[in-house]
Amino acid sequence: MPTALTLSIALVLLGTGLPVPASGGSAPPLPLGLSRAFLGNLSAPTLAPGSTGTVAFTVADPLPSALDSLVVTFEVYAFNGFPGGGPSFAPVAGAPDLTTPTSSGPVANVSVGTLTNASVYRGSVGVVTSDTTGSGAYAVRTALSFTLATNGTSYLLESRGWFTASVWQAATELPNGSVTLNLSRLGVSGVTPETAVEVAASDWGWVLGALLAGSVVLVGAGAWVYFRRGPGSTSGAR
């Protein structure tokens, strides 16, 4: 699934103003241009109720040091039903389970361990639906944590879905309305992308796909500008 589409699905849900569970905390900011280099190539499936698939991803190390204790987290946190449904937030009744060799549920943690400079880890988590899983888009937020091998500093990157609308707005909009991104206000080292698992009965598959494709135009300005920042950006608070 294209990055713009998967990100927009989650932002459309968040735009409703409903409460979103937030992570909180404080982590040292990384240069803004580096965030998009860590977690990428997210690919989520479109499934019929009762079927299975995978969310695929890659993790890269853009830093000069190796990354230790690297963990990638995926969590189903929001749902937009179709047809005639409305958005709802975690816990999502009947949501697909995310599975690893050792766990199954709304949250999946993938332990990468140590990743050396310029290397790439390719991984996936399973997605399992039931016959009663409702049709719609199940937004999946992400997080990535690691310790820098050279000095032991801990870093945490999280996606848009971990923050309430008010916290995100305060960190991405200046008083004059200009777009910004203040990682210190978010309390994270960087921002990761999100994705969404689509579940559709055969009769509604093409309609749901068309609606989700149309939602690309609703991608929030703050996130759009952030993910298009060039590698020259170096400040943790802009």
Q: What is the pLDDT of residue 206?
A: 47
Report residue 78: phi and psi, to 5°: -150, 160
Question: Using CA atoms in the order 60, 63, 67, 73, what is the torsion angle rounded to 10 degrees?
Answer: -50
**Does residue 111 have a pLDDT over 60?**
yes
DSSP 86: -
**Which amino acid would we find at residue 131?**
D
**Does residue 216 have a pLDDT over 70?**
no
Banded model confidence at residue 177, pLDDT cuts 50, 70, 90: confident
Query: What average pLDDT does the segment 158-177 reach?
Result: 93
Q: 0.75 exceeded by the pTM?
A: yes
First to last CA, the chain: 30
Banded model confidence at residue 182, pLDDT cuts 50, 70, 90: very high
CATH homologous superfamily of 3-227: Immunoglobulins (2.60.40.10)
Give the number of other Cβ atoms within 10 Å of residue 201's Cβ.
12
Q: What is the pLDDT of residue 107?
A: 97
Q: What is the pLDDT of residue 59?
A: 98
Banded model confidence at residue 86, pLDDT cuts 50, 70, 90: low
pLDDT digits (tens, 9 = 90+) for 52-61: 999 999 999 9
Asked whether 171 and 185 are in contact (CB, 8 A), the reply is yes
Give how far Cα 186 sits from Cα of 2, 166, 181, 223, Å.
26, 11, 9, 13
Beta strand 46-47 with 195-199 is parallel
